[in-house]
Structure 1
């Protein structure tokens, strides 16, 4: 279902706009049509799965999406131009390299000590990546760290899988065949 309704990612922050209800309804109908292809998934399960997807995607868009790119661009200034984090942050903000993160960069720049603690997070995500590392590898390493450090909340499906593994381990249910 997630692959089919990925288009919603571009709209999840429109919740308070007039077009949101139409977009949400279209996504929900699509999720229900997908769920109808599986005999053991009823309407309520499809609905709750869809709502969980909206909530998780909203969290991703607000707190994770584009942050890896911002850190990568800052890293290039820090390592290439021998700048401090704050000066590099200012350059990335001024050049508007990551439009989706402009509000985050601006909020950080407006606070003397760093409101969002981006500098601390940046150093955690770029630790050990020297300027000798090719850009594409550095970008991938930073992306991996951001995904790891900014872990998304667990979904119901992940919770259920974990419970099934525990039940298998203690012998409540037979082991699943691979």
Structure 2
């Protein structure tokens, strides 16, 4: 058994025999990673891909480059998907992504396309599900705690003041469906659950912002899947340069 043997005396073949995928699965080693496929944006596709460590490492660098150099696309998130304006923006981003990919020899067309798609997904989520919802949650919390009114009354006031025009449909849906525990209510409860009513407004705003960015569920993308693979490989002592694993 490998137990008690110094790591520098273990070779890759010994580790494979000792910690086979079947044995690890039997002990639920991967349960935190693959038990819930909803953690990832495209779980089935990710599981079907086998890539080398060199490709994975290069993918992470390429993803970082795309995130920095195509950050400008955030300015156009308000364009409707499928509209001529958005199609033009998306085409411009695709051309730039292809140009950047030329400096990464291990990047296939499918991987480059995945990076671009995941970058747009991340940008959209951050814009619509974080940055725009953050101030709305704060206004609701402020009214509930300082004015001592109900969630519904707070939304009615916010609607009357027309504070968040782009959230109008969401607000109206809550007001029209008082018997339903809506996504907005769930999001609000999640983000303010640890904030007391006596918390000063500035501190409350800061804590809500932190919760929006840390507590709200967001599906993970291929780059995060790769980091999990590398984490597992390092943990069980596999030779990353010679190993191709999936989780």
TM-score range, shorter chain: 0.7 to 0.9
| Structure with larger RCO (C-alpha < 8 A, sep 6+) | 2
- Once the two structures are superposed, residues 111-148 of structure 1 have per-residue CA deviations (whole angstroms, 9 ceiling, x without a partner) of 12246243343233212423443323211211222233
Match of 1:81 in 2: 147
Shift of 1:90: 1.2
Number of the residue aligned with 2:72: 7
Match of 1:27 in 2: 93
- Note the residue ranges of structure 2 that are not aligned, 5 or more in a row: 1-65, 242-247
TM-score w.r.t. the length of structure 1 is 0.83
Deviates more, 1:57-66 or 1:119-128: 57-66
* Runs of at least 5 residues in structure 1 that lack an aligned partner in the other structure: none
How big is the alpha-carbon RMSD for the aligned residues of Structure 1 and Structure 2? 2.4
Partner of residue 133, structure 1: 199
Is residue 36–residue 42 contact of structure 1 (8 Å, CA) maintained in 2? no
Displacement, 1:172? 1.2
1:58 deviates by: 3.5
Give the aligned partner of residue 168 of structure 1. Answer: 234
For 1:151 and 1:3, locate their aligned partners in 2 and report how far apart those are by CA, in whole Å. Answer: 24
Matched length:
175
Separation of aligned partners in 1, 2:204 and 2:82: 38
Q: Which has the larger radius of gyration?
A: 2
Equivalent position to 2:158, from 92, 102, 108: 92
- Give 1:166 deviation, angstroms: 0.5
Cα distance, 1:162 vs structure 2: 0.5
Q: 1:140 to 1:68 in 2, by over 3 A?
A: same
- What is the match of residue 66 of structure 1? 132
1:56–1:153 Cα contact (<8 Å) kept: no
Distance in 2 between the 1:121 and 1:19 partners? Answer: 31
Query: Does residue 1:108 correspond to 2:184, yes or no?
Result: no
2:67 counterpart SS class = coil
TM-score where L is the length of structure 2: 0.62
